[in-house]
Amino acid sequence: MMNRQLRTATSLLLCGLTLCSGCTPIQPFYFKEDGDLSHYMDVATNIEYPDVHTTPINDVSSAQAPLTLANADSFKMWDLTLEEVVRLTLENSTVIRNLGGRINDGGQNISTTAPEALTAGGGNALTTYDPALTESGYGGNTGSQFSGRGVEAALSEFDAQLDSSLTWQKNDRPQNFGLAAAPDFFNPLFRQDTGRYSTGITKNSVTGGTFDVRNNINYDQNNNGSRTQASDWFANVEMGVSQPLLQGAGVEYNRIAGPRSFSEANGNFSDQIDGVLIAKIRTDVTLTDFEAGVRDQMRDVEDAYWELYYCYRELEARRTGQASALETWRRVMAKFRVSGEGGEANTEAQSRAQFFLFKTQVETAQTNLFRVESRLRYLMGLAATDGRLIRPSDEPTVAPVKFDWPTIHSESLVRREEVRRQKWTIKRRELELIAAKNLLLPRLDLVGRYRWLGAGDDLINVPRNGIPPFLDGSTAAESLTSGDFQEWEAGLQFTMPIGFRLPNTTVRHSQLLLARERAVLQDLELSVSHQLSDAVRDLDLNYGVTQTNFNRWNSEEDEVKAVAAVHEVGRVTLDLLLQAQQRRADAQTAYYRSLVDYNRAIMRVHYRKGSLLEYNGIFLQEGPWPGKAYFDATRRARRRDAAMAIDYGFTRPNVMSRGVYNQAPGTAKGAAYEGPVPTIVPEPLAPPAEALGPQASVSDADVSGNAMAPVSYLETAAAASTMKPSTLTALPTTAPAAGAVVAGASAGSAPSNPFASSNVVSNPVASPAAAVPNPFGAPQPLPAAAAPGDADGSAAYEPQANHAPAATAANLAGWSGGER
């Protein structure tokens, strides 16, 4: 009873303690614990810097402060043709740089996004090393960007393999023998010394077979009493062959999957298909990706080049408007001083606001110019700022370009890099399906081995003595070379899975992969067709809009002159004149916007039909190899030429390539291209007669009587070639004479018509252009103000009668201190 009560009390006590303790975890108790764990804190969470010593390139270390509105007085103009820009870009493009086509947004707003492709993901950068990295690939999925083997690594599976081994062993063990009466015959303590040597060469053949030649030598010395000699030597030379007859047989299969895939195909068979042909396709895909990367870079380069040209023209238009607004403000201010008609306070404020509006537009246009020039510098691999400001010297063409739709449509389906890459992927899937179908065959191997054998008391002894094996003085080498002992074996090995579930699954998987890639190709071709259609549509649109905007600019020039003349006699209010000046600046900007977009549209057609590199005169070729490589290649070529060709018969692989891709159809860079050739119509077309309106007068002097040199921008554009040649050449330009004046509302006279037909302008190149302010040439000074004031009229306006805005040539008509 007492024991039962004690057990009950103990149980209740334990339950109480358990309930009191709850579920709170308790740290264990350790002896000799001091409680200081600071030496274990923050060890794994520290941010450390790698010990890597690299030297930045000069364009990084020597970069100067960026050009801004506050820092725009210490640079030189650097005139570059598009050909020179392309050349510098390619020379500095170890890493293929691009802006993703984001030079501007729909032709309206210049992108303010700095290049972040490398900073966001440098591991995915496309470089000139990529094709070589793929070609020199050595393994499967290694976790790096360039997984898979190259052609040389795949060919290495057919290399002969030399292996050799040499081992010695000593045995000392008791024996469980019960014949104690014969201790010499059955020794209870066994002692033995052995040696094994083996050397052989194994070679995988292209038909799937394996050949080997091997030499084996075995030494044995022990205390077994039944032996004639205490030690003996065995030597043999053997040759073996194993040739698959069904599964894994044939040149085609082994070039697709590789010889090792046949013996290692367990689990996912598709991961083992990595033979020579698959490695070659991998290299071809990498080359196509590299070509597409260079193509995209050239697209961005040309986009940036013409966008920079537009920025100069936009700045020109805004400065023209600013000059006109400044002159108008001066005239109103003069009337405001004497309280004359047209000099009311609201009129003066309105003219002043118009000037500051144009000044804001000039500052924005100048900053955009600096920004786009920096984007072009990035694509060229130059420093962000190096004391020079790039200025395009090529002129955009205004000649119409016409492409024959069936011709360029079929050409785009042949030459687009994306289509060619997808076709390589389809070819890979086709080859994988061929290899997968081979698994549906049972495994039947023909095996054979032949061996010459020798044995003796010693391994080798010279001279030969003719003693039989295992007698005193016999040698294994002499017995081997006598040929008295020969062995052979031959047979068939057969293996077949019941049901072929895994082979059928593999074939089905390969068929689905092939069907998927073919479906992707069909939609890819549809996408290419739509892209080319949009490019041609934009080409015609931009050409028509360019004509229309030119007529609009011409009309706005006439309107400004007419309104200015009527305003002088007080018949219209000032706001009509200010609005006309604003519309003229917008029309001039719109014309150059559409002109630049038209030239970019020409480039886009070539981009969409796959001829952009040829359009820019760019050809891709392999870089030079070391001299030893050329020596080895010549030696191998001589060896192949002297060798006997082996006809593999029905096992010969099917054709997988149509030969070298011709980058320039019809040129010496490759065989003559048999595909379509674009049709070019270089003759300028005139706009509709009703859209031309009155022709602008052409004069060698502006309305102020200041002599103007002919401006060649529109002239050379009208005579420019329709399609850019492979070797780009700069068009000649003529800058206006220094000291040309833009005065009053007549600043920026009516432009000449680059679209005029031959019955309107007989020779557009010889005809002088009208006076158009030119940001590419010398500064054009404005007349100085009579009254003191801020240099550019930007100081805070004080309502005083004698406060008149002033302007200087440095900050309105030219770059502030910039060297010309």
Question: Is the CB of residue 241 less than 8 Å from the CB of residue 209?
Answer: yes
Provide φ and ψ at 242, rounded to 5°. Answer: -140, 115
> What mean pLDDT is reported for the chain?
74
Degrees (nearest 5) of the Cα angle 510, 516, 521? 130
Over range 198-216, report the average pLDDT.
94
Q: Is the pTM of this model over 0.75?
A: no
Three-class secondary structure of residue 785 per DSSP: coil
Over range 559-581, report the average pLDDT.
83
Residue 353 has pLDDT above 60, yes or no: yes
Question: Is the CB of residue 388 less than 8 Å from the CB of residue 80?
Answer: no
pLDDT band at 778 (very low <50, low <70, confident <90, very high): very low
Q: Angle, to 10 degrees, between the axis of helix 82-91 and the axis of helix 276-337?
A: 130
Helix (H) or strand (E) holding 533: helix 501-568
Q: Which of 238, 229, 236, 261 is nearest to 248 (CA)?
A: 261
How, if at all, do strands 388-392 and 485-495 pair?
A: unpaired
Provide φ and ψ at 718, rounded to 5°. Answer: -65, -30
Contacts (Cβ under 8 Å, ≥6 apart) of 307 = 103, 104, 110, 372, 596
Please report the pLDDT score of residue 95 as a whole number.
87
Domain ranges of the chain: 165-204+209-247+443-495
Taking CA atoms, 293 is separated from 99, 215, 717, in Å, by 11, 54, 30
Kindly state the tokens that stand for 377: 């510098």
Contacts (Cβ under 8 Å, ≥6 apart) of 760 = 686, 692, 695, 753
Q: Mean pLDDT lowest for which of 169-173, 234-238, 269-273, 334-338?
A: 269-273
pLDDT band at 799 (very low <50, low <70, confident <90, very high): very low
Please report the pLDDT score of residue 58 as a whole number.
80
Q: Angle, to 10 degrees, between the axis of helix 574-609 and the axis of helix 345-380?
A: 20
HEC profile of 738-766: CCCCCCHHHCCCCCCCCCCCCCCCCCCCC
Q: Which of 390, 503, 482, 394 is nearest to 440 (CA)?
A: 503
Q: Mean pLDDT lowest for which of 128-132, 563-567, 771-775?
A: 771-775
Question: pLDDT > 70: what percent of the chain?
Answer: 70
Please report the pLDDT score of residue 24 as a whole number.
60
pLDDT band at 203 (very low <50, low <70, confident <90, very high): very high
Question: Is the CB of residue 231 less than 8 Å from the CB of residue 457?
Answer: yes
Residue 460 has pLDDT above 60, yes or no: yes
Helix (H) or strand (E) holding 368: helix 345-380
Over range 46-61, report the average pLDDT.
80
Residue 229 has pLDDT above 90, yes or no: no
- Give the tens place of pLDDT for each residue, 85-119: 999 999 888 888 877 655 554 444 445 456 666 66
Distance of CA 717 to the CA centre of its chain: 33
Residue 781 has pLDDT above 50, yes or no: no
Over range 447-467, report the average pLDDT.
87
- Give the tens place of pLDDT for each residue, 266-318: 444 445 788 899 999 999 999 999 999 999 999 999 999 999 999 999 898 88
Q: Which of 502, 441, 428, 429 is nearest to 268 (CA)?
A: 502
Select the more confidently predicted residue: 647 or 68.
68
Residue 217 has pLDDT above 90, yes or no: yes
Over range 206-214, report the average pLDDT.
93
